[in-house]
Structure 1
Amino acid sequence: MKKEHRIKRSDEFSRVFNEGFSVANRQFVIYVLPKEGQDFFRVGLSVSKKIGNAVTRNRVKRLIRTFFQEHEQAISGERDYVIIARKPAADMTYEQVKGSLWHVCKKAKIIQPKVRAHK
């Protein structure tokens, strides 16, 4: 994921938390902040020490990043997203993480419907 597609600074996280809306399931919480004039989406990750040791936390972050890279075309741009991992995410496989994130993204209505090609 490119640096310009990441949320890193504390004030950027705070803005998404305070001005955006959130959607959650048992494994993840997604905060969404619409940003007019931004051609791409940005992602910030928050994985607490409650999740596990550094190896576990980094693995969860890597799985989340992989999901967003694989589904980059389907996810709405012009928005900032902050994803918070909850404890059950630590024991999940990539397929489970993918299913859970897809579910919460659909709940947040950030997955763009596929445009069917005309024959």
Structure 2
Amino acid sequence: MEKTSAFPRSARILRSADFRVVYDKGTRVTCPLFAAFCLERPDRSGVRIGLTVPRAIGNAVVRNRIKRRIREAFRLHRAEFGPQWDIVVNPRRSALTAAFDEIERGLGKVIQKCGH
């Protein structure tokens, strides 16, 4: 596997404080499959993604599946984001039955609306 196609820990938002900053100061972007919050960071240390899937979406198996699919779509399109973005994605129930290409298109809309 090439290094550019990996999904390192540094590409994930892990701390709750980082999630809070994106929610509080970020721009909300919506599409039929999910809502996303985008925040431009001044340090330009690489684009990062965070996922929050509420229990109302389904059990752990269902929630983990949708997280894997969104992470993979992000991994494939990470280069389209600038190097300074934090993105938090909140999937909607409709994302459960969506095909992978629909998830990719939804992420493409987020990229466009975030200013790229």
Common topology (TM > 0.5):
yes
Moved more, 98-107 or 27-36: 98-107
Query: Percent of aligned positions with the same letter in both sequences?
Result: 32
User: Partner of 1:117 in structure 2?
Assistant: none
CA contact (8 A) 2:80 2:111 kept: no
Unaligned runs of 5+ in 2: 1-6
Give the superposed CA RMSD.
1.3
**Does 1:25 pair with 2:35?**
no
Secondary structure in 2 matching 1:23: strand
Q: Which runs of 5+ in 1 are unaligned?
A: 112-119
TM-score (norm 1): 0.85
More helix by share: 2
Q: CA offset at residue 107 of structure 1?
A: 2.3
Indicate yes or no: 2:17 matched with 1:11: yes
Shift >2 Å, 4+ stretches:
none
Q: Highest CA radius of gyration, 1 or 2?
A: 1
Residue type at the aligned position of 2:11 = H
* Aligned length, in residue pairs: 110
